[in-house]
Chains A and B, each alone.
Chain A
Amino acid sequence: MMPAVYSASTPLAQSGGETLVQVKQASKHFDVSEPWLNRLIERKPRRFLHAVDQVSFEIKKGETFGLVGESGCGKSTVARLLVGLYDCSGGEVRFEGYPIQDIDRIKESDTTSLRRKIQMIFQDPYASLNPRWTVGQIVAEPLKVHRMLESRSAILERVALLLGQVGLAASDAARYPHQFSGGQRQRISIARALASEPEFLVCDEPTSALDVSVQAQVLNLMKDLQKQRGLTYLFISHNLAVVRHVSDRVGVMYLGRLVEVAPNDVLFEKALHPYTRMLLDAIPDLERTGKDRTPVAGEVPNPLAPPSGCAFHPRCPKAKARCQRERPALTMVDETRQVACFAISDPDFDKRDAR
């Protein structure tokens, strides 16, 4: 086992801002074993998928933390751990200092629990809205669940206000989701998420299903709302350009592990981890018309059988023997950024034996 490395928390916390969300060595394993009888007869072992493996980071009040990575790297599992939809298999997630699994029980007043402060926006606005409910019912639901408003007229008034804030008309409350376009449906999701006056929004690929011109509208809206309400975002996307546009700090994930965490500009201009650099280099870019480049070979390994040591070593141009044996921990390399790579953190790395 790796020693617990908590280097994440201290220096970052000092750099100003109150920590809202703390993720400490959080892991999520899924049991993907064969059924019991098959294991008995065919002598198959139990198998676990390490979807998220000892991930630590913090999100400060009012900031946007971006999480990027390729499909299957565990981004969405992290999102679900953060809102408490999954329980951690190891480590913990804390919101305002309270363990996330207790969030429903901690009362902030007679009626509402801390839960109302965390909301989620999903990728597919078609699937995340109930087609049989009117928009008014959908947006009013959090108000009713958290018993924030009692009278019918007050709820209607609040729904109209919320719809106005996301750029829809108050009269839209009487319509059904299928009567709206994709961008408008995502606005409805945002209005619903805002209904309980949350502080922390977990956005899992909120614009991936949208066209670019509509994506721009939704991203601008999310930024405006953040300014007005002082919201904190966890923004998950596979689209690096979108993450660059919205985030203050960015974490890069590979096969369930965080490989690099850095402030936005630092990450996109001076990325250190070889995987981050490969990702940045792989993005098709408007400025590169007609140019050729050499893409990195290989694909993301099977997460059921991740490579030993550093999970990226089979594709890494810098890999040496140590990378196969040992797993690099996420360590601070300067005031603001953390990298999990021996080539960066080990001063004697270049002198070591090649593979």
Chain B
Amino acid sequence: MPSIQNYNSDQYGEAPLLELRHLQVEFPTRKGLLRALDDVSFSIMRGETLGVVGESGAGKSLTGAAIIGLLEPPGRIAGGEIWLEGRRIDSHSPEAMRKLRGKEIAAIFQDPLTSLNPLFTVGRQLTDTIQTHLSLTYSQSRQRAVELLARTGIPAPELRIDHYPHQFSGGMRQRVVIALALAADPKLIVADEPTTALDVSIQAQIIRLLKQVSRDLGTSIMLITHDMGVIAETADRVAVMYAGRVAEIGAVDAMIHRPKHPYTKGLMASIPSIRAHRDRLAQIEGAMPRLDVIPKGCAFNPRCAARFSRCLIERPELQDAGESRAACWALSQ
């Protein structure tokens, strides 16, 4: 198991499972090129859960889509590299990506009903996926499908395997989606808002299931969500994204209690707490810039109380900030 504390994996000598190096994603439009992801770099270790948070439009889901090779055209990777277990995968052909997807990297999306085919039983969808990626006979793959349903906590899996998606409740459907993601023993699961469409009591069950999967099977998880509470309970490390860039990345506890980047600080203070009663929430004035008007220098500078002349001109890189790495000039003074 990799250490949960490490924020900079390289220094531990172990090679990361997934590594993003200076990833750039662009969308050509009539009005010009929009850079949706700009110089995104991070890595995920084996068995580790990396939480990716940020407001809508920050580029969290796009990062996930780029990794699994499902960028919506005309979006394209314009620069940088994606490495999985020492192999570069961003240059793979769509055909090679299709073989990789499901086998080595699986995905879970927000709405379980749209990720399942309503016309096939869940058993059919599971055995299809298993037989595509593993060389098993039909009865072996059906056996595996039952095991997967049982593992994801679906009662009476022998019976449920022949049911259609509409016969499952929302929480059970998301369990089926997780079973589907686990079908070929992937090394990495990209989970994009897996609990957002669910009620809190069901959300707690799904979070627990994801943690169990990660612990029992050693699967790495990239958990994309806007809910800091979910991240706090599930992730080992957190990356905070802002305007297509990583603002800060570090161990979950440090990020929540001792954030260094002004944006992370503002974000944490603006979350209402269930434990303590505050009269007023801290608020960050303004809103995240649109992609076509990202300010020069640090993208956060118009909303930042700590900005100074350098922030308006030069773009900060991620740098050591004690317990985390943050992209902020104020920290290097």
Q: Could you tell me how many residues of chain A have their Cβ less than 8 Å away from some Cβ of chain B?
A: 47
User: In the assembled complex, which residues on chain A have CB atoms less than 8 Å from the CB atom of B227?
Assistant: 284
Question: What are the interface flags for A156-181 relative to B under an 8 Å C-beta threshold, 1 for contact and 0 otherwise?
Answer: 00000000000000000000000001
Interfacial chain B residues near A217, Cβ < 8 Å: 283-285
Docked pose: A292 CA to B271 CA in angstroms: 22
Q: Is the CB of A296 within 8 A of B201?
A: yes
Set of chain B residues within 8 Å of A213, measured between Cβ atoms: 55, 266-267, 270, 283-284, 287
The answer to the question of B232 belonging to the interface, with a C-beta cut-off of 8 Å to chain A, is yes
Question: Is the pair A291, B233 in contact by a Cβ cutoff of 8 Å?
Answer: yes
Counting residue pairs across A and B whose Cβ atoms lie within 8 Å, the total is 139
Q: A211-B56, A212-B226, A241-B274 are in contact. Are A282 and B200 (CB under 8 A)?
A: yes
Pairwise interchain contact B272-A284, C-beta atoms closer than 8 A: no
Chain B residues, CB < 8 A from A292: 208, 211
Instruction: Select from chain B the residue with minimum beta-carbon distance to A278.
Output: B201
Pick the contact of A289 from B207, B253, B280, B283 — CB < 8 Å?
Answer: B253
B229 CB–A CB distance under 8 Å: yes
Contact of B271 among A241, A291, A296 (CB under 8 A): A241
A219 and B281 within 8 A (CB): yes
Contact B287–A287 (Cβ < 8 Å): no
Q: B199 — nearest CB in chain A belongs to which residue?
A: A70
A selection of 5 A-B contacts at a CB cut-off of 8 Å is A213-B266, A238-B200, A283-B274, A287-B275, A300-B201
Residues of B within 8 A of A290 (CB): 4, 233, 236, 252-253
Cβ–Cβ contact B281 & A295, under 8 A: no
Residues of chain B touching chain A, judged by Cβ–Cβ distance below 8 Å, are: 4, 55-56, 169-172, 199-205, 207-208, 211, 226-230, 232-234, 236, 252-253, 256, 266-268, 270-275, 277-285, 287-288
Q: Is A268 an interface position by the 8 A CB rule?
A: yes
Contacts of A211 in B (CB 8 A): 55-56, 226, 288
B98 to chain A, nearest CB (A): 34
Nearest CB of A to B58, in Å: 9
Binary interface encoding of chain A residues 245-284 relative to chain B, with 1 for a CB under 8 A from any of its CBs, else 0:
1000000000000000000110010000000001111111
Contacts of A284 in B (CB 8 A): 203-204, 207, 227, 229-230, 232-234
- B283 and A216 contact, CB distance less than 8 A: yes
Contacts of B273 in A (CB 8 A): 241, 244-245, 286
Given contacts A213-B270, A213-B284, A216-B282, contact A285 B201 (CB under 8 A): no
Q: Is B201 a contact partner of A295 (Cβ separation < 8 A)?
A: yes
Q: Which of A216, A264, A282, A293 contacts B281 (CB 8 A)?
A: A216
Complex contact A289–B233 (CB within 8 A): yes
